[in-house]
Structure 1
């Protein structure tokens, strides 16, 4: 029986930036350099891979080049944390070239398309990965309290625990022409919700990501949830978290049924859904109908509008950790145990 392996982030650590999905085109290089400057002002050293600076045909480079650069950073003893610039579209092309057999225990942090790689790493190696902010969202003069937790979470020692709370406010839409000092324009009151009751509590090993892309792991060698459950967590219950970047309600519904039929929801303790810029209704099939239908089928707590994904800010969720998630009167608490 293997156990979950937890990396640790030291203050002043070296951070590697590589783009296994999308890099930054020339006109956006300033976003990367500003984020680098912010991190270096906090005593981190930042090393950029070549893929960070290139973007063409919906990817930073060919699949083999992206994978090779990522593999090199994963094997570099100097680097403690890898943060891609942001997500993208075609990370899945690089998966077959990722060296899962020789990975060192270090943090990989990100979301969106990067969550496909995060979940694959944890499922196949038992190394915990961090779903949270990407690099460019760290370019502000300061971070909001929710985003700012990434350092505390990644600096939690194995055997320890870390607590996070739901945000006070979230960003309704991006306003690129009027950026704020903390990057996000947080204007809307945050309220976590539940399908079955006003309050809820779930606990188990937490796994998930952007559902648009992690669904493509189903049926591949990289998405064997049963193997992970049997070999890394002794069949403990799983709490899934998902966020929908671009799917309609019917596409989301098809995906959730697919996951259920594939056995992903076996011994599931609960499912958390992030706020979404999508969830476009089809006919009169609304997102609440999707959540209700899923609840009727699997009969576990379903929480939604949580701080996760493309409607910032977001909590830092550690794939593989043991999580206790509690909803009380619209407010959320997430305790993650690195055990």
Structure 2
């Protein structure tokens, strides 16, 4: 069975460490703002050394990044770890992560952080949370979708919680013109299905940024079938992915490789987040890929959901049992910690 961290308590202690990219000097003000906002909200915040440094596409050496993460995962006083943001080189630290010494606490984030999240869940059966990063919590307010991260992680063992699709999303970042909730939510959110029809998906959630989680295939940290056999009695999985930068042919090849590697052997459905990388290649469009995959796997596929680099995004828990209902451009996601 899946192990769920204790529900997040009031005035919890947040550990901020950078297992991928840290914050360069010129952007330290963003980290200071995020620390202040969370302190104002009643949280205690401890920031590791790696969060303040950045060189060669990474916050520090792989050994130092892993050591700081391991220390926070083993610290009884820290309740949740939220990296400042993602990056490019998180994969370096996997050989140095002490999976067998973890305390059952939440790790929250997205982008390159999702590689670590998925590795933790697949390798240990410990639930992890794909959602906002720490820097994006620096606003004086949070939009309704982002704000659900707290309610999700406060959900007790055995209980369920429901999220709705957002009303609007952000198409492009305006870093020098933040709103009170950071994002510029200007575009109407419309979820879609490959079939064009209402859909219902049920199963245990797994996923992340497909650009980075794909690199777990063929490693000791990406054995999906072993995870399913050990931790998912129902054998039903719902995958969620978001594409940050892959071209359409790259995305196609990645999804076929996942199928050939057995990642979709127990798949009950796939959800894809919005992406700015969706470009037509000759006469091949993204919907063609989704429809082909849906037919080949005989599963429903939803896309343009609230997940990834075009915020806001749902908080989706790797390992949680979920029921997703889609109809008329809107989605309802209910997650159960069982």
Instruction: Indicate the TM-score class for this superposition, using the shorter chain for normalisation.
Output: over 0.9
**2:152 is equivalent to residue 147 of structure 1:** no
Equivalent-residue separation in structure 1 for 2:267 and 2:38 (angstroms): 38
Match of 1:62 in 2: 61
TM-superposition CA deviations, 1:12-71 (whole Å, max 9, x none): 011000000000000101111101111011110000000000000000001010000000
User: Contact 2:2/2:319 (CA < 8 Å) preserved in 1?
Assistant: no
How far residue 235 of structure 1 moved from its aligned partner, in angstroms, is 4.7
In the aligned structure 2, how far is the partner of 1:292 from the partner of 1:70? 40
Residue aligning to 1:324? 323
Q: Deviations over 1:262-290 (max 9, x none)?
A: 00001211000000121233222211111
TM-score using structure 2 length: 0.99
1:194 match: 193
Offset at 1:292?
A: 1.3
Structure-2 residue corresponding to 1:259: 258
**What corresponds to 1:73 in structure 2?**
72
Give the Å deviation of 1:4.
Answer: 3.0
The question of whether the paired residues in 2 share the 8 Å contact of 1:165 and 1:332 is answered with yes
Secondary structure of the equivalent of 2:36?
A: helix
Match of 2:300 in 1: 301
Work out whether residues 153 and 162 of structure 1, in 8 Å CA contact, stay in contact via their aligned partners in 2.
yes
Aligned to 1:25: 24
3-state SS of paired residue (1:212)? helix
2:269 pairs with 1:292: no
Q: Which runs of 5+ in 1 are unaligned?
A: none
Does the CA contact (< 8 Å) of 1:248 and 1:281 recur in 2?
no
Q: Secondary structure at the match of 2:146?
A: coil
RMSD, aligned α-carbons: 0.9
Q: Is the 8 A contact 1:9 1:80 kept in 2?
A: yes
Whole-Å Cα distance in 2 between the matches of residues 7 and 266 of structure 1? 31
Deviation at 1:305, TM superposition (A): 0.2
Aligned position for 2:228: 229
- In the other structure, the counterpart of 1:159 is 158
Count of paired positions:
338
- The equivalent of 2:241 in structure 1 is 242
| Partner residue, 2:108 | 109
Structure 1 stretches (4+) deviating beyond 4 angstroms? none
With normalisation by structure 1, the TM-score equals 0.98
What secondary structure is seen at the aligned counterpart in 2 of 1:239? strand
Equivalent position SS for 1:148: helix
